[in-house]
A and B are shown apart, each in its own frame.
Chain A
């Protein structure tokens, strides 16, 4: 059986061993889908305003673009891609024969400034994920979502549902109001650590600031291409602010953020630490060592260059235990998974395809 991502190869020809897909998406097809999981007052509030859901969703994932859903994964009946468990089973879980897949739902709740509605929205998405996905499909684990603008409310939501055995991660939109390393977020990370979850930094987020370090880009493609800088800024903030000294068990996944930028970014951080560490003396070892212990990266997008140079980048990562396979269903990345697997050292392949994620998420 093949699926779009396999592109006419069989799953076994590509990779005969176990597969864990660390980033598949559930898309909330409509606000009405969530009504059964919301208190009446929020249902009424939506109806009386003609509100159809957080505005940020269509900005982050323009509905008709292939980067939002590959053509092959768009249902023939015109319904919303990746919005039902049946679609996910047909497109990913069955053809890939995954051991496990980690479900991420980005509903752009952070684009909603109403502090109470955002909490209600996050609760309803989490209860929908439990009811419609986790409790019906044992191969799934999932990220829970939070009202990201309010770290204390986020911590409360993590404590409310974080104990569900299906939740292994908290989804953090990479674009946030403030850098996540800052102390105002301690309650959030304390709750993540307390519940034994992973912090999953994921593409998206509609903060006050532009998507680039110097404001708004003219085109979506720029926003898309420039997002690794935001991931880099968050990783830097988390390290420099001492988040991993404060919360030594904290694990962070970089999802949909690429990884080719990491080696040179880490060299830079190492160098800065050696000479400027007095400014942040809680960091007591090389940032690259902190990254090794506290971060993992999904492979989508891989943003591959020529194979020989790509092979060098994989070597520069300095470990076989950092990357985790992701289909990023239903999004299109024009990566060639076979090419990526082809340049990996043997020891890396099994880790990337399943074992790193299995250990990281304790699956």
Chain B
């Protein structure tokens, strides 16, 4: 409570976490942004991001295998839906929908999703210059991500971290 409002970042913050070409279709890149580990996934239709923390018991969710949906109305009739992808947590193999974070077996349970988008290098450069976005070091970068005008960039939007309480 003595914490100064001005000492905390207010509102949403944007983080440039990599080039869009850094993640292959069906792949995942784990980045650290705003002090949180986040798995960035590319599925055919775009990018999706999940907090790297399983809502079950806190396992490193995004280290898990990416799998397609398997379902069956009756034994002998097994169906697949490769448009729907799940990440299976490495601790207990529970599946979570990468787009929604929803657990397959328990729809009340959700992994935390993080808003993610792709922005053009020119826009990103402007946002950085204006202080509206910041760059982070990704696993494939020794340094903070350099921005060039020609590329597209993955941008995460994080709400301000809650205060200690």
Contacts and interface: CB of A to CB of B under 8 A. Distances in A.
Contact of B73 (A243, A282, A286): A282
Contacts of A274: 92-94, 105-106
Contact of B94 (A183, A242, A275, A286): A275
B72 A282 contact: yes
Interface string A293-322: 000000000000000000000000000000
Contacts of A277: 104-105
A245 B92 contact: no
B95 interface: yes
A276 interface: yes
A52 interface: no
B94 A245 contact: no
B75 A183 contact: yes
Contacts, number: 41
B74 A245 contact: yes
Interface in A238-294: 241-243, 245-246, 273-278, 280-282, 284, 286
Contacts of A281: 70-72, 78
- Number of contact residues on B: which range applies? 10 to 19
- Number of contact residues on A: which range applies? 10 to 19
B125 interface: no
A284 B92 CA distance: 18
Nearest to B92: A275
Interface string B68-106: 001111111110000000000000111100000000111
B73 A245 contact: yes
Nearest to A243: B75
A241 B74 CA distance: 10
A275 B76 CA distance: 21
A276 B73 contact: no
Interface in B140-158: none
A274 B71 CA distance: 14
A241 B75 contact: yes
A282 B95 contact: no
B67 interface: yes
A275 B93 contact: yes
A275 B94 CA distance: 5
A229 B75 CA distance: 25
Interface string A122-148: 000000000000000000000000000
Contacts of B93: 274-276
B67 A246 contact: no
Interface in B44-69: 67
Nearest to B67: A278
A273 B95 CA distance: 11
A282 B94 contact: no
B105 A282 contact: no
Given A274-B92, A277-B105, A282 B67 contact: no
12 contacts: A242-B72, A274-B105, A275-B92, A276-B93, A277-B105, A278-B70, A281-B72, A282-B72, A282-B73, A282-B74, A282-B77, A282-B78
Given A183-B76, A274-B93, A282-B77, 6 more contacts: A183-B75, A242-B75, A245-B72, A246-B75, A280-B75, A282-B74
Question: Which 7 pairs from chain A and chain B are nearest by CB?
Answer: A242-B75, A275-B93, A282-B72, A281-B72, A281-B70, A278-B70, A282-B75
